[in-house]
Amino acid sequence: MWIKERPQQLLDSGRTTANFLYKKGKVYVMDNHLCAAWCWLQETDITKSYDFYHIDRHNDLLYPIPSIKEDLLNHNVDLRKVTFEEYVELNENHPEELNIKVPLFRWDNYILNLNEVYPNFLGATNFITKEPYPDNEFIDWEYKIEDFLNSLHHWLKDSQYGCIVNLDIDFFYSNSKGYYQIYSDELIRKVGNVLVENMDKIDVITIALSPECCGGWENAFETMKILDKVLDLGMEIS
């Protein structure tokens, strides 16, 4: 079902624009990764912990403002209870411009924002990205996509926690001297198949298209069609 309907005229997603959000079962598909934190809260229990698998060209780990938890409390905002529309309307003061508000959740800060509010929510953090970040204390493990394909079943079997898988389609693309797909359709299908095979052990899957990071909407939708078919999402992407 469409939580936010895809508009006829798609806008640039950028850091702060959410064009659409789709859900089937425990799988959520969005154009902008900023939506992901809200989706996780719909399928999980914040009194428990969830191992986190982040497959993305970027780490998405911009630091939050230290006062985010206090600010939400002062405004009587419970992130577990806000609607999606309310979530995307949350804002904070611009760090450099007085009297300017900016969206609180953006494509580069949604992970650490949520971690700041619920510091025990994420268990082991596993990153499969193109941005090695060895000095970041938030990242527990860095892997290659082959590790994810070969070992997810064992990781989930051995874990005492739940599981969140957070995928950005831009992982399959390069932005070096233009945008182009660097992984085969077959590998993308394998990622989808691994998710299907382990669906009973995964609590929630979020998939972002990030069109500007894939070379445009056409590329992003063509790649999403592969996952849509494997995951049987019924998005009817044209």
Inside any domain, residue 62? yes
Report yes or no on 238 lying in a domain: no
* Phi, psi (degrees; rounded to nearest 5) at 171: -60, -30
Residue 46 has pLDDT above 80, yes or no: yes
Helical H segments across the chain, by residue range: 36-43, 68-74, 84-89, 110-117, 145-158, 185-197, 217-231
Q: Is 200 a member of any domain?
A: yes
Among 27, 9, 28, smallest CA distance to 19 is for 9
User: How far is the C-alpha of 169 from the C-alpha of 76, rounded, in Å?
Assistant: 35
Which of 69, 56, 185 lies closest to 129, judged by CA? 56
Report the pLDDT value the prediction gives residue 97, as an integer from 0 to 100. 62
220 lies in some domain: yes
pLDDT value at residue 41: 99
**pTM of the full structure:** 0.95
pLDDT bucket at 108, cuts 50 / 70 / 90? very high
Residue 65 has pLDDT above 90, yes or no: no
> What range defines the domain where residue 79 resides?
2-231
Residue pLDDT, tens place only, 171-205: 999 988 889 999 999 999 999 999 999 999 999 99
Which H/E stretch holds residue 167?
Answer: strand 162-168
CA 166 to chain centre: 4
| CA 99/CA 107 separation, integer angstroms | 22
pLDDT at 95: 64
In a domain, 94, yes or no: yes
Residue 169 within any structural domain of the chain: yes
Mean pLDDT over the full length of the chain: 94
pLDDT, tens only, 72-107:
988 899 999 999 999 999 998 766 666 778 899 999
Whether the per-residue pLDDT at 134 is higher than 70: the answer is: no
pLDDT at residue 131 above 90?
Answer: no
Q: What is the CATH number of the domain that holds 115?
A: 3.40.800
Look at residue 37 and tell me if it is in a domain. yes
* Contact between residue 24 and residue 1 where contact means Cβ atoms under 8 Å apart: yes
Would the pLDDT of 208 be above 80? yes
Paired tokens of 172: 């399959």
Question: What confidence tier does 67 reach under pLDDT thresholds 50, 70, 90?
Answer: confident
Residue 58's pLDDT is 96
Considering its fold, how many domains does the chain have in total?
A: 1
Which pLDDT score, from 0 to 100, does residue 128 have?
97
Please report whether residue 78 resides in a domain.
yes
